[in-house]
Structure 1
């Protein structure tokens, strides 16, 4: 009997001892985390945050940029939030945005590299690389874009030809309801494909469709909670099933496609006659041999090409999808665009960027789509590279910086009807009017390198579609302006009717 009691007491004591150890370990971890993440004096104000996950559970991941506006109203134009264990500040208002990206840009040049981005890109490519790699890759991409026609008639002719293909593909729907997503995506992606790979793909190409699907899925899922948790606990979450596994798998498949393209190019590559971006990159690589002091290597060829494919497809595609949606839900605007096209271009010739100055209303509509579509609501993140002071607040090195483009583009002090689609925002006495508080392509040294290409594509594709079709909602259906959140904001899936104009 005594032996049984001793065994029982020993078991109880062992259990209590184990619980005490666990409690002590958890207490130590929380204390260590608190000391590690303790904010300095004069740090921007913000909502309370939880250990490890920060403010993640206070954000609605379906519309985080909307929830952020509530925090900004409460805490001001410099608001602190923690995305997991990443300390961040939200910058709101044109004066502060200009201060950061013009006067103080040297302290805000870097991109933050989250675990999921590190796993996929590892400081390579164009978008999230930093330092020498970023400088070399951006300079090379801009130079190569110009060498292959950016700003020249040859590239414009390629866009016009692709616009013809898109018009033909949509015409095949014969005015019946259809989802324009992948037709538009195919057309836009083909422009960057001719530049990057030296070829375009047919819209029915199943391999091409799969690439676009992988990219669309990865772009959407990367904003999911599992991806956010992966960024907080990568060593644990990497073993758990979830959307993060799909994202990582998709990016690897896309990288494999670029790798296969690179190997195919090598077979008939002529360094004296580059056909496209991959050829030009191979030529640049050959200048350096095996030197490790340069970023011109296979890894950067793959990642820079993938960045071009992503950036050159996703944002312009979503802008055009928003354009058709806003035009369809605002028939009086569509009628004015049709009138201007009929007057300036007519039906017999293709639209050209030379027409833009003669078409202020159409130009204003495209700008209003960019404002209302809000493709990148918090811009592409930056990172503080050295301890800095902004608006009297201290920003430690390593802080992530998000630019509140949502608030800028919906500021009632700047826009007469901030929450309503209204092309008059960009018109004055019938002429197109530039707006300082309009920054969809960002500004500064890390502004979108493809802005000129995107503007040309938007004008030619949109005007060509409007020249040939009247867009209407399906009978007895009200179209939704709801968005799908991801790396970019896109319209939820929808069908429209493209009725030929005669």
Structure 2
């Protein structure tokens, strides 16, 4: 190789010195940044994302930094640091990070992507209104039990033949939140309702697909390109049109004196309480996004969890049999399950918790950001930096689950067989941003699942040897594969 000429060598030396000065200024400006693997220009660590976070944490510790494109991302790995950020220091890490696929339609409104006063007031209103319409009380339990009876009838109509229960479970689960949002349930054959459910399910897959992940990393470029990510936004538009029609129906028959549902209550808030206030967060736009967020979160996430529980029980027939023995001992085969039964059914409760743990539905945790330079574990997290509080690392923490890679209901049982809480069980996240529908989701998981096992034995279709529990996609969400089951009357 020819030696560098004097001029070229001097230029190279100057460039190297400039680079070192810039790196030194960056380090002094931000203090000691978290460690992490080398990042390529422009691409960052995109080509290294197949590296397991666990391996990176073993090398760099529980707080390390990656770059997705040019954007810095701090990854928090392990129950202790995840809980520290989500709970102990929630004020510093409350803000939602950038999520371009959601931002495009949400516009910093609603419950999921909003921050600051918009998030605070919308969440406070949503929590109070959910309580007003029965969440956490006997009212909502009665609605779920009614829906359970209708679901069991539809499952019985399959007569033990192979059935993909995905849409049917979504319809049953979705009706609980629809009663709250719109004051009505929808029939299992309602074409518009079923289409909305299919679009929601498709979007959960698309958001975690390769195209969806690329969109969230390179939105400006992906907006110019065709692909599945464009289907995601078309689906959102249809769902928004559906919600707009429901809002218009409510406006025509609004019950401002005595709201009949969440939509009525929001309209009353807009018209009677906040009208004339130019700075209010209670606007029609915020109502639309809030309804969208609640419909999506209250339908697909819980129905996916129930479906995954059924899949796990097919893979572990001894566990299913033991659950059915407990169900029969506590409630028999005639009356529908009730939430009061849960305290007498520790094994069933443990199985449901363990299935949620293994599903690991939101593996990375929903992203956060920091408003200002923040110290964490001896490192400086720069202002505006994206934070991934990896919920997987809590749900699979070997300090809290003795066999984290194995499905084992014993993770939630003590030596006497009583149910035992585990502080690292964080499927709904934790702190101020935790899922506000947790109590509704837990009620539906218990009531629907126990009722199904009370009336049916689960079987695989003829010729199928086992269920594939690996996710269909794994990204923002872990979404199970579609599956056919046989619901055989007991």
TM-score by length of 1: 0.89
- Structure 2 unpaired stretches of 5+: 1-14
Contact 1:112-1:383 at 8 Å conserved across structures? yes
Q: How many residues align?
A: 465
Is 1:397 equivalent to 2:387 in the alignment? no
From 440, 459, 472, the equivalent of 1:484 is 472
Deviates more, 1:200-209 or 1:454-463: 200-209
Deviates more, 1:132-141 or 1:218-227: 218-227
In 2, distance between residues paired with 1:255 and 1:299? 11
CA shift for structure 1 position 268: 0.8
Task: Show the counterpart of 2:9.
Answer: none
Contact 1:471-1:497 at 8 Å conserved across structures? yes
Structural mapping, 1:226-245, within 5 Å:
226-245=211-230
Task: Show the counterpart of 1:53.
Answer: 43
Contact 1:381-1:403 at 8 Å conserved across structures? yes
Deviates more, 1:237-246 or 1:432-441: 237-246
Q: Any idea what the Cα deviations from partners look like across 1:312-349, whole Å, max 9, x if unmatched?
A: 01211111011000111101001111110110000121
Contact 1:185-1:212 at 8 Å conserved across structures? yes
Deviates more, 1:107-116 or 1:352-361: 107-116
Task: Show the counterpart of 1:102.
Answer: 87
Task: Show the counterpart of 1:255.
Answer: 240
Q: Any idea what the Cα deviations from partners look like across 1:299-318, whole Å, max 9, x if unmatched?
A: 11100000000110121111
Is 1:360 equivalent to 2:360 in the alignment? no
In 2, distance between residues paired with 1:481 and 1:361? 22
Task: Show the counterpart of 2:181.
Answer: 196
Is 1:163 equivalent to 2:163 in the alignment? no
In 2, distance between residues paired with 1:229 and 1:470? 42
Contact 2:363-2:476 at 8 Å conserved across structures? no
Contact 1:220-1:487 at 8 Å conserved across structures? no
CA shift for structure 1 position 353: 0.6
Distance 1:474-1:229 versus aligned 2 partners, 3 A rule: closer
Deviates more, 1:40-49 or 1:120-129: 40-49
Counterpart secondary structure, 1:431: coil
Is 1:267 equivalent to 2:239 in the alignment? no
Contact 1:376-1:440 at 8 Å conserved across structures? yes
Task: Show the counterpart of 2:132.
Answer: 147
Counterpart secondary structure, 2:162: coil
Distance 1:372-1:226 versus aligned 2 partners, 3 A rule: closer
Task: Show the counterpart of 1:445.
Answer: 432
Contact 2:33-2:381 at 8 Å conserved across structures? yes
In 2, distance between residues paired with 1:225 and 1:425? 33
Counterpart secondary structure, 1:107: coil
Structural mapping, 1:53-202, within 5 Å:
53-60=43-50, 67-202=52-187
In 2, distance between residues paired with 1:279 and 1:270? 6
Q: Any idea what the Cα deviations from partners look like across 1:368-425, whole Å, max 9, x if unmatched?
A: 0111111111111111122111110110111111122212222223222211111111
Task: Show the counterpart of 1:349.
Answer: 335
From 256, 263, 279, the equivalent of 1:293 is 279
In 2, distance between residues paired with 1:209 and 1:47? 46
Task: Show the counterpart of 1:282.
Answer: 267
CA shift for structure 1 position 46: 1.4
Q: Any idea what the Cα deviations from partners look like across 1:24-54, whole Å, max 9, x if unmatched?
A: xxx9xxx9xx98x966441111122233332
Distance 1:281-1:399 versus aligned 2 partners, 3 A rule: same
Deviates more, 1:78-87 or 1:254-263: 78-87
Q: CA RMSD in A?
A: 2.0
Contact 1:85-1:232 at 8 Å conserved across structures? no
Q: Any idea what the Cα deviations from partners look like across 1:195-246, whole Å, max 9, x if unmatched?
A: 1111111112221111011111122112334334434443443221112211
Task: Show the counterpart of 1:323.
Answer: 309
CA shift for structure 1 position 119: 1.2
Distance 1:151-1:233 versus aligned 2 partners, 3 A rule: closer
Counterpart secondary structure, 1:222: helix
In 2, distance between residues paired with 1:474 and 1:290? 61
